Chains A and B, each alone.
Chain A
Amino acid sequence: MEPVPRKSEVSRNPVAVDFEALRADFPIFATGQQPLHYLDSAASAQKPACVIESISQCYSHDYGPVHRGLYPLAESASEHYEASRRTIAHFINAARPEQIVFTRSATESINLVAQGWADQYLQPGDEIWVSQMEHHSNFLPWQRVCKNRDARLRIIPLDGEGLIDLEKSKGLFGKKSRLIAISQVSNVLGTINPIREIVAAARQQNIPVLVDAAQSVGHMPIDVQDLDCDFLAASAHKMCGPTGIGFLYGKSDRLAETEPLLLGGGMVDEVNIDSSSWAEIPARFEAGSPNLAGAVGFATAVDYLRSIGLRAIEQRVKDLTLLAYENLSSVGGIRLYGPGPGLDRSGILSFNIEGIHPHDVAHIAAEHGVAIRAGHHCCQPLMQHLGVSSTARASFNLYNNEQDIAALLAAILDAKRILGHQ
């Protein structure tokens, strides 16, 4: 495959983007249940019509098996699949398209590194470091591999603002440290972690870094060469793409050190009764018939986000989050989690209201047409740190607006009226 040509980011001036008009790109706001104030994009984002149509177009006009046929439909299917890979590679500025492995999800991507890479090299007494804020997807795979290899899972603690505390992480860049696996953006706190700084310090000691970018890719400009991370995992569905597809980015030498998780069709070079050899990278990691429509929809989502501009999206979402933060701060008895005013944060805002269970807040919000999440958000170690069993969470994306925040505030006040102590 050819190296990906790097074009300068084509982004509109943030001021010039009419985000209100972009809502019309998302059919759910016209055809779904009304009103819909969708504030659960950190769980899964809504899909623009272009993504939905690209999937339909793929199945209606361009569908065939990928890398398995010699007739025109099969050849064009293969080309569309690889073109999608190039689009993703370009999007995150990977040096080469084959550094992008299509997976089902960010979860699968992390499991591939845990079982296909870490499991081979981990020795008793070695350490893998994660942070206290990790999603279970970036926690459990490491917990298991450490247990299996008598290694130690170590935790980067958080401070009162929900920022990682590197000073209290003695040994993070030490001799026993074999991998640092950390999220770029917390799915509960909205904290943005200083990945470049962590990688730079880790690089000095030759410690690989995996970035869980499930909440960051598609929400801010990402450049894997600039980050210099070894692995990076993300899902399409949180960035306006389809469910069922994600990717693992890996530096070429790291991917060469990784064993495939799944064995089967399409990932072999030669199969004999006694032994077999694997196909080239990334095919060796993509056993089974590839998710063509998913890849096509994913690439369309990427093109859509690029056409708006990642910086513009990032700024819009930060503005909305700040507005929500300010509005919610005025509610008596509310506790807002994560970085406070003046500190950088992404479009995720978790909160609790004294004396009211977050499930009740979400239930009453639903009656106002406001979709928020309530629960532990697959972050039980973080909940333990916060001293709660669950939180309510509002999360924002490019299609949200000020009315969504007003509706959220009204719902919260209603919850207090109904369920507050009388």
Chain B
Amino acid sequence: MSNDSVYKEVLLDHFHNPRNKGELDDMAMVRRGSNPRCGDEIEVGIACDNGVLETVRFRGRGCSICLASASMMTECTSGLKLQQARQLIVRLQQWFSNTNNEMPPNENLTALGIIRQHPARKKCVLLAWQALDEILDEIEDRSEASNP
């Protein structure tokens, strides 16, 4: 099998068997990302303890790439420090905007690389990540407000 086929299998596995997908009622913070162009709607929720993302979960509807990417994100970011999660998000965004061709430092994300050839679907990949990015923004804002 070519690398592309392997990567497709990885993405399909996440689509058919999404990790950490479910209700977000018990999550500390929830953010919604939507792409009105195609009707994708993803909600990302986190529980955080002592500066570490303890749980990252999502729910919603979208295309296979959007859902697979969200599923991969929950796996890759659970257990990361907030700052590390932020760095990973930035690297993924750079990778997809072609400002940094080096892969993000997490080999579990390698499969997403096949989507880089399809710029029209960049937003599908990034939707969940942007929602998580906004959660991190809010945590930062809160922490700045409490420690001016």
Contacts and interface: CB of A to CB of B under 8 A. Distances in A.
Interface string B3-24: 0000000001001100000000
B64 A357 contact: yes
A390 interface: yes
B70 to A, nearest CB: 13
A359 B12 contact: no
B62 A357 contact: yes
A363 B118 contact: yes
Contact of A389 (B15, B38, B118): B38
Instruction: Please indicate which of the listed interface residues B62, B63, B65, B121 has the most CB atoms of chain A within 10 Å of its own CB.
Output: B63
Contact of B39 (A363, A389, A422): A389
A359 B121 contact: yes
Contact of A376 (B37, B65, B121): B37
A156 B7 CA distance: 48
Nearest to B41: A389
B8 to A, nearest CB: 8
A320 B74 CA distance: 46
B127 interface: no
A276 to B, nearest CB: 43
Contacts of A374: 38
Contacts of B63: 357, 359-360, 363
B128 interface: no
A40 B84 CA distance: 44
B124 interface: yes
A374 B62 CA distance: 13
Interface in B17-59: 36-40
A359 B15 CA distance: 14
Contacts of B118: 363
B37 to A, nearest CB: 6
A51 B65 CA distance: 39
A207 to B, nearest CB: 34
Contacts of B66: 357
Contacts of A375: 37-38
A388 B121 CA distance: 19
Nearest to B8: A418
B80 to A, nearest CB: 29
A390 B63 CA distance: 11
Contacts of B12: 418-419
B79 to A, nearest CB: 29
Contact of A419 (B37, B38, B39, B64): B64
A213 B38 CA distance: 26
Contacts of B36: 380, 389
Contacts of A376: 37-39
A380 B16 CA distance: 29
B131 to A, nearest CB: 18
Contacts of B15: 419
Interface of A: 357-360, 363, 374-376, 380, 388-390, 418-419, 422
Interface of B: 12, 15-16, 36-40, 62-66, 118, 121, 124
Given A360-B64, A375-B38, 17 more contacts: A357-B38, A357-B40, A357-B62, A357-B66, A359-B38, A359-B63, A359-B121, A359-B124, A360-B63, A363-B65, A363-B118, A376-B39, A388-B39, A389-B36, A390-B38, A418-B12, A419-B12
18 contacts: A357-B38, A357-B40, A357-B62, A357-B63, A359-B38, A359-B63, A359-B65, A363-B63, A363-B121, A374-B38, A375-B38, A380-B36, A389-B36, A389-B38, A390-B37, A390-B38, A419-B15, A422-B16
